[in-house]
Chains A and B, each alone.
Chain A
Amino acid sequence: MTLTQHDIDQEIAAEHAAYEKRVADGAPVEHHPRRDYAPYRSSVLRHPKQPPVAIDVRKDPELVELHSPAFGERDLGAIDNDLTRQHTGEPVGERITVSGRLLDRNGKPVRGQLVEIWQANSAGRYAHQREQHDAPLDPNFTGVGRTITDAEGRYHFTTIQPGPYPWRNHLNAWRPAHIHFSMFGTAFTQRLVTQMYFPADPLFPYDPIIQSVTDDAARQRLVATYDHDLSVPEFSLGYHWDIVLDGPNATWIEEGR
């Protein structure tokens, strides 16, 4: 039997209600999705059944995971953070600027660390050979960028507004427009890969990936804010998105947290 949007809507609602009940019964707020989230069908065979084994980093400050790989100037090309200039011509679509700060759980900036992004083009097509969506490729847009955060933890990208696109989780499944982000912190424990969304996308309620974040406030933290000060006159619209890395780092130990 074909899996419909209606089926998925019901599963999403049931997962959301179960989460609300857990919190009402005293369970902690969940900032991240559960790896076992069946409305996103690909998760079914790819999540561990055993609970993760906890490591208390305060007991061993020498853990390799409390350090992070280093990235520097030689790891960046001069225009790696401008996805509109990587080809000879102009890409098609609405130019946008995306900027924000990379922070740790204490609100401290994460300086000099790598931020990588990738995305579909304005028609909702990835420059990936296994992509089946028959929207046009753009010869002037690949959709890959990277940068290193500055002394205030700030990052900045110029790119094209990505399009929404269909996928095959269920019949008539569409992903809201998003940009994939990958970040490093000061500790490998803070590693984060996620997706940034755009304000008020009508596809949010239908998408099992964004809805896998069952906490309403946490889900809002994946949505960028339109920021007129980041818009560039005659050129691009601006979006602001701050990122907070989870996971312990060396600061936690110093402060005895």
Chain B
Amino acid sequence: MTKIDTSRPESVLPTPSHTVGPFYGYALPFRGGEDIAPHGHPDTLTVHGYVLDGEGEPLPDAFVELWGPDPDGNVSTTDGSLRRDPASGDHLGRNGVEFTGWGRIQTDANGHWYARTLRPGARGRSAPCLSACVFARGLLVHLFTRIYLPGDEAAHAADPLLAGLPAERRDTLIAKDEGHSTYRFDIRLQGEGETVFLEFQ
């Protein structure tokens, strides 16, 4: 029964999640999905890494969605991530001027992904971070995690999520500084060094 009667709250129950399967590649990824930062913005950073399975093998059929605030900590309400060309119906890509805060990045054949976005500012009690959501064949429910930037020990110590984790698990959420505003963040779905994944309640 899939007509929901909203006058009966007890009948409003969640639609179950399913895997994206292997064949989303011609539907969901879009041109410029990884180029979230407006062109030439001085606070641009690159974040990249691999998505790895329980045997350490990279996933060529996963994608990551990033969602983060601007450098002042403000959340974008701007659309235009998926702009279409009205003549051809094809993807136009972003306009390179506005910041939508959101991107979707397919892993390549080596299981590697990258994105260029703006350095996130702090919000509320959290240290600066990007929200990340991982989808893959074999993953029946997507996984949320966070990408924190290294260096600000005081902010990390005050962050409610990081402060509650044992050190070795906390470190899976902190990207590695590779210089030139480039940060490495691998996502390990299972096993040794398994990334901390989140459940919002």
Contact = CB atoms under 8 A, between A and B. Distances in A.
B14 A242 contact: no
B75 A248 contact: no
Contacts of B137: 42, 46
Contacts of B86: 77-78
Given A32-B141, A57-B201, A75-B83, A69 B89 contact: no
A195 interface: yes
Nearest to B14: A246
A72 interface: yes
Given A54-B201, A241-B2, A43 B140 contact: yes
B151 interface: no
A243 interface: yes
B96 interface: no
A52 interface: yes
A221 interface: yes
Q: Which of A48, A213, A222, A223 has the most CB of B within 10 A?
A: A48
Contacts of B1: 220-221, 225
Interface residues of B, number: 82
Interface in A168-198: 180, 182, 188-189, 191-195
B91 to A, nearest CB: 10
Contacts of B80: 72, 74-75
Interface string B129-142: 10101011111111
Interface of B: 1-4, 6, 9, 12-28, 53-55, 57, 59, 65, 67-69, 75-86, 89, 100-102, 120, 123-126, 129, 131, 133, 135-144, 160-161, 164-165, 169, 189-191, 194-201
